[in-house]
Structure 1
Amino acid sequence: MDAMHEMEELVEQLNRYSYHYYTLDQPIVSDKEYDVLYDRLVKLEQESGFVLPDSPTLRVGGELLKGFLPHRHLAPLWSLDKAQNEEELNTWSARALKLWTDYNTKNPEDPLPELQYALELKFDGLTLNLTYTDGKLVQAATRGNGTVGEGILEQIKTIRSVPLSIPYKDGTIEVQGEGIMNLSALESYNKTALEPLKNARNGAAGALRNLNPKVTASRKLNAFFYNIGYSDAKTFSSHMEMMDFLRENQFKVNPYVSYFDKFEDVMEQLHDIEKRRGELDYLIDGAVVKIVDMRTRSALGYTGKFPRWAVAYKFEAEETTTVLESVSWEVGRTGKITPIARLEAVELAGVTVKNCTLNNVGDIERKNLKFALGSRVFIRRSNDVIPEILGKVTEENDGEEIIYPEKCPACDFPLVQRGAHLFCDNRLSCKPQAIGRITHFASRDAMDIETFSIKTATQLYDELNLREPAELYELEQESLVKLERFGERKASNLLEALEQSKTRDLASFLFALGIPNTGKSTTKMLAEHYRDLDKVMNATAEELVELPDVGGIVAESIVNFFNDPFMRAGVEKMRQLGVQPTVPAEPVAVKQDSYFSGKTVVLTGTLHQLTRDEAAERLEALGAKVTGSVSKKTDIVIAGEKAGSKLTKARELGIEVIEDEDELIRLLNS
């Protein structure tokens, strides 16, 4: 009995911790503390041979199932009528208003309240219907035909945001929601999967209808809930009241739920959601408009298929299919060979798509695209991101083979494979590499050589045999003025810009070198830490991994870069030609009493009164630590215009967000 009592306490404690972690995104204990309690529960279960029905150990996935059994829902799961455009949405609104008016005309003694509207996201996953009796999860099913679905209780138990027990214990309820796979979970899964998933929707649906619950658990699914379809005791007067009930009973409710008194405001919010959909960490294919009042819902009733009190507004597709016609191979400044898919033109998310990235040969293999030429493939485009191929529509090798190049498409040099990528190591004589390195070196965030462009780099390569950035500092007026479209003035301006660049700061110089796997924040950190070019060049991997935001891969990239005789010779040549990067000024004492003192801050989006770099400098001067990624350790996210997924993640984690730039300036100045 003592063991059973301890197990009950552990289950209650662990489920409370899981609720805060997976549902609220507000962990209250460390992973280590959780693991100690979890391991103790596992030991007690093994010793007693008994597992409580809401034990978190059930979430790892049990034995292979023989098949899915049909489950008859206690109340029907209705489909939603669809509006494909604003005109159809306004037609639905007018019809609902007419029905409301007709009812109130016939029932003046007990009229319905003024119409209010709820607006929710329409998830692109798999509909779930969960049955709870006396507070325990006793069944879970797919939608099926709306009347009968398939029982998937063991699969649902693996979703950590689904409560196995709830505080409400007064009878039976059916709770409806959507099972999804977060896009970040999909990306993480595909990095190691032998058979990568084509998209998040298929990943969730396939996991929930897999007879092996361990497979379901491996995909780390999530779920959001939005409706009580049946209750034998509980009633609700409004949609808001129902949503509060779901939250109180530890169900994960999406934060993007809005309420409106005017239908015109619904339309405005719809447009905003459509613009921001690419920032979300999950797929949506539209939004759902519902009338808030439950008595009004009952009065409006149902057609043969749909409720009259709700409608789904469909967005333009972000995924579609088209034919993969050919693959070309492009050479980057590091020698990496990137395959580019040429597609049969297709409209997607408001643009015509003809090309897609394929990343590398490893990506082609993992997505089963090796024999896909001439075949139909899934493609996805989100916001302004370059479209990508997700996989083949069919599993068969029914297309022509994609032939991997053995020689560089630009210089005919033999290619080598390192990891998943092909590389051309002909750095001096491979034109795209040389032009890419020179252009990057001269770019604004690097050496900031005014008037320089990729056209200039190409002309210097072709006509003056320029092959590496160091040779820029050997250019002479006499040679430049002989070039086409180069007069005395243009030549003088370029040479003056080159001379001014010789004393750029060390961080800009390191960034200009194009060290693989390093960006501006890393090179800035290196410059501020070492404050000397030679110390950076001679740093060991063991030293580097001790620095903030430097992992093993980045450390090895830095060491390998400066150990490369070609790269080291280029740096030494620049120094001989007068390039002397300036070291950062000595760190100044930071204010300890500012609003940002001691806080970890992330900048995202476009600022208008300051550049991102200026904002970062001012924040650091006030004692803040500015980082590039949002995590539970982040204190503040400063979100400018067109802030993306970092803003979404901050909201989901409950992190303080500053979106008003005037307020940011006030805090920086105060």
Structure 2
Amino acid sequence: MTQSLEQARERAEALRSELEAHNYRYYVLDEPTITDFEYDQMIRELEELEKQYPSLATPYSPTQRVGGRPKEGFSTVRHLTQMLSLANAFNGGELQDFDRRVRQTLPGETVEYVVEQKIDGLAVSLYYENGVFVRGATRGDGETGEDITENLKTIRSVPLRLRRPLPALEVRGEAYMPKEAFARLNEARDETGEPLFANPRNAAAGTLRQLDPKITASRHLALFAYEIGYNSDLDLQEHVKTLELLQELGFKVAQGYQVFSAIDEVVEYCQTWHNKRFNLTYAVDGMVLKVNSLSQRQMLGATMKSPRWAIAYKFPPEQAVSVVKNIFVRVGRTGVLTPGAELEPVKLAGTTVTRATLHNEDIIKEKDIRVGDHVLVQKAGDIIPEVLAVLTQERTGQETPWSMPAQCPSCGSQVERAQGESAVRCPNMACPAKLWEELIHFVSRNAMDIAGLGPAVTGQLLAAGLVHDPADLYALRYDDLVKIERMGSKSAQNLLEAIDASRANPLSRLIFALGIRHVGERAAKILAERYESLQALMEARQEELTEIPEIGPKIAASIVSFFESVQNRQVVDKLIQAGVNTASEKDDQAGEKPLAGKVFVITGTLEDFTRQAAGELIEKLGGKVTSSVSRSTDYVVVGEKPGSKYDKAVALGVTILSEEEFKELTAGD
């Protein structure tokens, strides 16, 4: 049944309110009341409504958390109130010195302190107008910071609309990466040979400065609110009340804060968290001590850099000495060989550590780590054990130097190391150590999209010896599948149908599914448009590939290297024999696309299109959308409140289109 615009508007607002309530229960209260599937179904319904009626999309809609296109850089914004950094204390005596200074400034007054966890993340400022999130920024120099609004929108614990509208509110918070997300991110970077983040704070900072919000969203950051910087009409007297209000408004606040009136109690409380912090799901590198009374804070004031009413108590680093019993090598999905140390068991950061990452061959050589060495071990961000240094004074002469094996320890293939890279790789696509994760990628939604072939079933197929490379999926039979645990007759038939249907997928999906290093979905589409078949791509020379727009030398070299592998060519031959489509997508639209070769920039708010929908329409008609105006720009599509891009287009003499003119230009689609 088709809904009227008014019915759709009412339903969309109802969905938004319900989704916001579920977000609050899940991310703030930790009390979810619906399943992820039910939440996803509601999001999908809202997306469909906003797609059908673009004018219904709002800045605070849950569907707007991830922006469409990467930025070229960050603009600078000024904070409404200065963001100061905290002075540090490293022991109880320094906390007592801080307390003495406070009481000297406030003689005869009763002083209370609020003690909170010091989250190991990145301080940010969030600005709301009439209850709607409009801008977010890094601390920067305290006066100005970088505008990271779109990236902050991807954080689920950042409310896009407050639970109670306020005219103007500036909130301070700490964006952080949970331990589990940090471990997954470093594991993925480890497998692809990328440098690892040293700790969750560095990971959060690097993630929030990504120019593409989709990358930020994929890393699952979170945020704790801890302060109000500016408000237009609130009458708050105590910091504790501020924390309670923040939670009422929809923010997540770190629990475990307490109020004390005696500094000895503060010191004792801080010290109890030395080991308790290891049980948290996020990294805490200290505690923060704040004067509770906001009027007393005014009297205490601040230095040029730090408030005189707050101080950070930093925990000492957790380190231990162990012995390297052996150095082993693990092969990841992309074929990267990652060395690790087997250690004598040692207690560290609340757990017993028996293994530590050694990152790559260069680091082992730089630190001169040998089997039998006594080493200093620490946990990066209290999470990942790593060897910090070798205690060379403990050497006896019996220690054994180590070098990277010349053959893959899993399949025996000759390993490779690209010039200028630290990663050593196994090039064999059918390497058993790589195969499980390669298959998961091959069948994923954005690749060959084979429903019903999840991680568990894939593992069972490998264990049964039914699959040795992705091409073997197309040789599976009904009798093979029904023998798999929990694979019934209907499930087996559905899976076979899904596998068969995937044979007809566009070439771009197959190229992406092959898992060629550096070749993502966008590059796969460009290659499928350039080459008439996979066979033609296999024969392409590196110089030829680099002539294609958006295909740089690194991607080109990776493609050539992939198809030079005899094993990879054998897998591709099997896919061809299995009837998988290897021909380029054909353009269904007769003649040349009307916007072919034209470069567009979209600025301001359009009435009948979201920016993403307008961009997709332009690309469908052959045009290209960029984020900045230059002399090569053909058209600038202008909506309400266009900003500086409009001014630059006028200055450069670029053709400006209103939304109505844009509709006329794209009419007929």
Give the corresponding residue for 2:9: 4
Give the corresponding residue for 1:216: 216
Cα distance, 1:217 vs structure 2: 0.2
1:250-289, Cα deviation, whole Å (9 max, x unpaired): 1000012111122211111111111212212211211100
CA distance in 2, matches of 1:182, 1:292: 28
The 3 A distance-change label for structure 1 pair 380 and 164 is farther
| One-letter code aligned to 1:18 | N
Give the corresponding residue for 2:229: 229
Q: Please, which runs of 5 or more residues in structure 2 have no aligned partner?
A: 1-5, 330-337, 370-375, 390-400, 410-427, 436-458, 460-481, 489-669
The 3 A distance-change label for structure 1 pair 386 and 281 is closer
1:309-357, Cα deviation, whole Å (9 max, x unpaired): 111111112489x9x99994379xxxxx9842799xxx99799x9x983
Deviates most, 381-390 or 126-135: 381-390
Task: Confirm whether residue 165 of structure 1 aligns to residue 161 of structure 2.
Answer: yes
Cα distance, 1:127 vs structure 2: 0.5
Contact 1:338 1:358 in 2 (8 A): no
CA distance in 2, matches of 1:237, 1:306: 21
Q: Say how many residue pairs are matched.
A: 387
CA distance in 2, matches of 1:100, 1:222: 37
CA distance in 2, matches of 1:402, 1:139: 51
Give the corresponding residue for 2:104: 98
Q: CA RMSD in A?
A: 4.1
Task: Confirm whether residue 154 of structure 1 aligns to residue 158 of structure 2.
Answer: no
Partner of 1:217: helix, strand, or coil? helix
Give the corresponding residue for 1:263: 263
TM-score by length of 2: 0.52
Contact 1:326 1:373 in 2 (8 A): no
| One-letter code aligned to 1:269 | Y
Contact 1:278 1:382 in 2 (8 A): no
From the CA coordinates, give the structure whose radius of gyration is larger: 1
1:633-648 equivalences in 2 (<5 Å): none
Contact 1:61 1:216 in 2 (8 A): no
CA distance in 1, matches of 2:487, 2:383: 31
CA distance in 1, matches of 2:159, 2:181: 20
Give the corresponding residue for 1:65: 71
Contact 2:341 2:355 in 1 (8 A): yes
Cα distance, 1:169 vs structure 2: 2.4
1:536-586, Cα deviation, whole Å (9 max, x unpaired): xxxx9956999xxxxxxxxxxxxxxxxxxxxxxxxxxxxxxxxxxxxxxxx
1:227-376 equivalences in 2 (<5 Å): 227-318=227-318, 328-329=326-327, 339-340=340-341, 357-358=355-356, 367-369=359-361, 372-374=364-366
Cα distance, 1:4 vs structure 2: 2.0
Give the corresponding residue for 2:404: 403
Give the corresponding residue for 1:82: 88
CA distance in 2, matches of 1:389, 1:250: 41
The 3 A distance-change label for structure 1 pair 281 and 389 is farther
Cα distance, 1:303 vs structure 2: 2.3
| One-letter code aligned to 2:327 | W
Contact 1:118 1:260 in 2 (8 A): yes
CA distance in 1, matches of 2:173, 2:226: 6
1:189-200 equivalences in 2 (<5 Å): 189-193=185-189, 194=192, 195=194, 197-198=196-197, 199-200=199-200
Give the corresponding residue for 2:115: 119
Contact 2:115 2:258 in 1 (8 A): yes
Cα distance, 1:9 vs structure 2: 1.4
Q: Percent identity?
A: 35
Contact 2:339 2:361 in 1 (8 A): no
The 3 A distance-change label for structure 1 pair 59 and 380 is farther
CA distance in 2, matches of 1:74, 1:91: 32
CA distance in 2, matches of 1:368, 1:158: 32
The 3 A distance-change label for structure 1 pair 79 and 290 is same
Contact 1:126 1:205 in 2 (8 A): yes
Give the corresponding residue for 2:40: 35
| One-letter code aligned to 1:153 | T
Cα distance, 1:61 vs structure 2: 3.6
Contact 1:180 1:204 in 2 (8 A): yes
Q: 2:170 aligns with which of 171, 174, 178?
A: 174
The 3 A distance-change label for structure 1 pair 41 and 262 is same
Give the corresponding residue for 2:582: none
Q: Please, which runs of 5 or more residues in structure 1 have no aligned partner?
A: 105-111, 332-336, 392-399, 409-415, 422-516, 518-539, 547-670
Give the corresponding residue for 2:51: 46
Partner of 2:173: helix, strand, or coil? strand
Partner of 1:95: helix, strand, or coil? helix
Cα distance, 1:140 vs structure 2: 0.1
The 3 A distance-change label for structure 1 pair 247 and 350 is closer
The 3 A distance-change label for structure 1 pair 116 and 41 is same
TM-score by length of 1: 0.52
Give the corresponding residue for 1:21: 26
Contact 1:316 1:350 in 2 (8 A): no
CA distance in 2, matches of 1:148, 1:277: 32
